[in-house]
Homo-oligomer: A and B are copies of this chain.
Amino acid sequence: MSTEIHSPLSGIIPPLVTPLLGNDTLDVASLENLIEHLIAGGVHGLFILGTTGEEQSLSYRLRKEMIAETCRINAGRLPVLVCITDTSLVESAALAAYAADHGASAVVSAAPYYFAPAQPELVEFYEDLLPHLPLPLFLYNMPSHVKVNFAPSTIRRIAENSKVIGFKDSSANLPYFQSVKYIMRDRPDFSMLMGPEEVTGESVLMGGNGGINGGANMFPELYVAMYNAAHAGNVAEVRRLQQLIMQISASIYSVGSYGSSYLKGLKCACSLLGVIKDDFVAAPFHKFNEPERRKIREALDALPIKDGKIIL
């Protein structure tokens, strides 16, 4: 039971955390809880197995379980986007087939991340991959993790294939995002989605289509409200909500001094909020210990939360 995407895909499509009980154990009950929480919060789609979803840390078996369970629980209510980012074209294609079979709406692919292909090699890679994909494709720019940046002209080239319907940018480089939007300006159906929630508001004010914002796992209403305000051009409201989003970013994603603090902090907060049961983080990471967990609790206490929801 797949939900067709109305192009351009717009709104808040949270990158779901993957609720785990161990390195190879999906917590299906928490996944159900999380999805109902998100749908109740008004989000516009579900994005699974992204960086926030720890795709690369999970076994292929668990990735498939996550796809199947998400599609089952969602039951066609929202579009489901499945990350198939992989270093192997064969494995990417296999995940895409699995996603299609279980009712996903689209797949998402960042560049292969062991070797660092040059731009013409990226074009060739997607020319090779696209015939294997039974679903529409979103390109995903994530240079900090995959080491290469999609040049705007590369995106333009790859998107000549009409299967390519959108782009998610997690580079945090907004002049770059504007360049991609400009080079795609004759394709109003092409969805331009922002990764970092700290700048989703402004990108939507400027004509972007929405955000793949991790914080929506905790507080979907907040990010949906931000999207709605920005989409309506309500600058004052965007700036008001931005303060809350920055407070979350500054207090929940920056505990500890490693690059993993975003992921550990987000999962920890989700478990403290009761959205998921355990904040187990798959290897190579471990969840926070008690001192860091206490800081997350304090950060949550400082937010205007009532009955688990943020007061807007």
Contacts and interface: CB of A to CB of B under 8 A. Distances in A.
A135 to B, nearest CB: 19
A58 B183 CA distance: 34
Nearest to A249: B179
B118 A259 contact: yes
A246 interface: yes
B56 A260 contact: no
A242 B206 CA distance: 8
Contact of A87 (B57, B118, B173, B249): B57
A78 to B, nearest CB: 26
A246 B111 CA distance: 26
Interface in A109-154: 111-118, 120-122, 124-125, 128-129, 145-147
Q: How many copies does the complex hold?
A: 4
A141 B183 CA distance: 28
Interface in A211-253: 233, 235-236, 238-239, 242-243, 246-247, 249-250
Interface string A250-288: 100000011110000000000000000000001111100
Contacts of A60: 60, 91
Contact of A115 (B89, B172, B285): B285
16 contacts: A56-B115, A60-B60, A117-B260, A117-B284, A118-B257, A118-B258, A125-B283, A174-B202, A175-B249, A182-B246, A202-B202, A202-B203, A202-B205, A206-B239, A207-B239, A233-B235
